[in-house]
Chains A and B, each alone.
Chain A
Amino acid sequence: MIIANLYQRTTSSNGDQSMKPAPFSHLLPAVRAQAELDVEARINCLWGNRWIDYPRANRALQELERLLALPRRERMPCMLLHGDSNIGKTQIIAKFRRHHPDTFDAERGVEIRPTIAMQMPPTPDQHRFYSAPLFEVGAPHNAAASVTVLERLARDLLRRMAPRMFIIDEVHHLLAGSYREQRASLNLLKFLANDLQASMVLVGTHDAVIALQTDAQMVSRFTPFEVPRWQESDAFRRLLAAFERVLPLRLPSELAQRDIAQYVLATSGGLTGEISRIINAAAELAIRSGHEAIRLEHLKDVTSTSVG
């Protein structure tokens, strides 16, 4: 019924059918079909994974592509992707990995992985460190095995899988250990990068930069790449406009307007993840209320309820 009304609105305001904009022309063509779904289905779409391009993320992706394309050699160049928590670092890595899917070599029986990503264990501990990639690649292993056994298994499997890039997220967890443990973990990272002849990408908060600074070799080898918080700018307004084009709302919200942009920036702290959460929550409210466009009061509503 609502869809029919919206179609009517576009046809009755203009006599000539051929001159009228397509329904939901404020949305990307791929999203328009979603806008025709019922309330619950659209809300499901809203909270699903999606990617929105923005310049800093694209730059990070280009840099990752460059590293991946490098020929194997001793001392592969590495990267430290850092920024505040919830700034979108993990999303960038996930996007990059989607572009480089795993394949299976049926003749040799080996899964070939261009990239292997794991999380740094909450405390620097060799046993957990070697278990993490085994868990990540789905290797059956005896969790009670000694560090030596796990190390051999991990190195053997990783070599077979021939990753060109090894990604370690939450690398700031290194700081949870003593100075000695931090040094031991950093040595382990260097050893693994050399052993696999793969580029290593460490991902973490600004604490990760501090953790790496305890080792001069690491500083020289890992090129830092920061994903900063958003500031009020044309780029930020373009980000909001891009968001608007992927939300399954039936009417345009004009998110790039100054008052909305300033409000979103202030309440999100300029964190991409928080911006996304606020806009999604406001979009859900707009769908449920039948307004079909995000208004400032929706944003105020969702940010005031989330604070408590």
Chain B
Amino acid sequence: MSPLQAWANLRPWPYAPRPFEDEAFGSWVGRVASRYRMTVEMAWEINGLGPLPALTSAGWILFAPLNDYALDKLAALARVEAETIASIQTPGSWMVARRRLPFCFRCLVINPLDVSAPYWKRAWLNPSIIECCEHGAQLETAPPSVLRRAGNMQQLISSVGRYRRDAVKRRFRRGR
């Protein structure tokens, strides 16, 4: 029996953003929470997905791998195959505390597949990544606290943008 059949009595979400192939699981959950104008923690609780998994200092963007219950229920709520969600999950070996989290700002804010849906790539969560596979440039980094403070994906994009602007100001002040 597929998860969609097993949760036949569950009321699915009227709108569920589709996960992108190379998206991080936390990013997708963060986009769902943004859509419903709540935090990831609140979305997790309201949808009865069980206790929120233990997270690192980076917060929900580095989301721990899900148990079968949460995975199947999420698949049924979003009307996507459980395999699709499983394929974007964070590998357990990547769940380590970081001093900085890398990202490519161009990739982050310009999604050629859907300009209205910026997302965090799963590859950026790999502790050994250095360069953007799209642009070949060295990835920027942000401290985990910048990401952890954001309640959902929309807030995370704003936080990262603000952090970059502040970083420019800091560099300018140092240069004076």
Chain A complexes with chain B: yes
User: A107 in the interface, Cβ–Cβ < 8 Å?
Assistant: yes
Selecting from B40-48, B50-58, B165-173, the interface stretch reads B40-48
| Chain A interface residue count, Cβ-Cβ cutoff 8 angstroms | 22
User: A153 in the interface, Cβ–Cβ < 8 Å?
Assistant: yes
A296 to chain B, nearest CB (A): 44
Q: Which chain A residues numbered 45 to 75 have a C-beta less than 8 Å away from chain B?
A: none
Given A108-B18, A109-B78, decide whether A152 and B37 contact each other with a Cβ distance below 8 A: yes
**A160–B15 touching, CB < 8 Å:** yes
B107 to chain A, nearest CB (A): 22
**B36–A104 touching, CB < 8 Å:** no
Q: Secondary structure at chain B's binding surface: helix, strand, loop or mixed?
A: loop
Selecting from B6-14, B65-73, B97-105, B124-132, the interface stretch reads B6-14
List B contacts of A109 (CB < 8 A).
Answer: 15-18, 78-80
**B79–A140 touching, CB < 8 Å:** no
Choose among A107, A108, A141, A160 the residue that contacts B36 (Cβ–Cβ < 8 A).
A141
User: A145 in the interface, Cβ–Cβ < 8 Å?
Assistant: yes
User: B86 in the interface, Cβ–Cβ < 8 Å?
Assistant: no
**A142–B42 touching, CB < 8 Å:** yes
Given A141-B37, A142-B46, A149-B37, decide whether A110 and B15 contact each other with a Cβ distance below 8 A: yes
**A141–B15 touching, CB < 8 Å:** no
**B43–A140 touching, CB < 8 Å:** yes
**B13–A141 touching, CB < 8 Å:** no
List A contacts of B80 (CB < 8 A).
Answer: 109
**A141–B38 touching, CB < 8 Å:** yes
A42 to chain B, nearest CB (A): 27
How far, in angstroms, from A110 to B42 measured CA to CA in the complex? 22
Given A106-B79, A140-B47, decide whether A111 and B37 contact each other with a Cβ distance below 8 A: no
**A161–B14 touching, CB < 8 Å:** yes
How far, in angstroms, from A106 to B79 measured CA to CA in the complex? 8
**B14–A107 touching, CB < 8 Å:** no
How far, in angstroms, from A153 to B37 measured CA to CA in the complex? 7
B141 to chain A, nearest CB (A): 32
B76 to chain A, nearest CB (A): 12
Choose among A111, A145, A152 the residue that contacts B15 (Cβ–Cβ < 8 A).
A111
**B79–A145 touching, CB < 8 Å:** no
How far, in angstroms, from A156 to B34 measured CA to CA in the complex? 12
**A111–B42 touching, CB < 8 Å:** no
A107 to chain B, nearest CB (A): 7
1/0 contact string of A128-166 vs chain B (CB within 8 Å): 000000000111111001000100110011001100000
B151 to chain A, nearest CB (A): 11
The chain B residue with its CB closest to the CB of A145 is B37
List A contacts of B43 (CB < 8 A).
Answer: 140
29 A–B contact pairs at CB < 8 A?
A106-B79, A109-B17, A109-B18, A109-B78, A109-B80, A110-B14, A110-B15, A111-B12, A111-B15, A137-B14, A138-B11, A138-B12, A139-B13, A139-B14, A139-B15, A139-B36, A140-B38, A140-B43, A140-B47, A141-B36, A141-B37, A141-B46, A142-B37, A142-B38, A142-B42, A149-B37, A152-B37, A153-B36, A161-B14
Nearest 6 pairs between A and B by C-beta?
A138-B11, A137-B14, A111-B14, A109-B16, A140-B46, A153-B37
Further contacts, 4 of them, CB under 8 A, given A139-B14, A145-B38? A111-B12, A138-B11, A140-B43, A156-B35
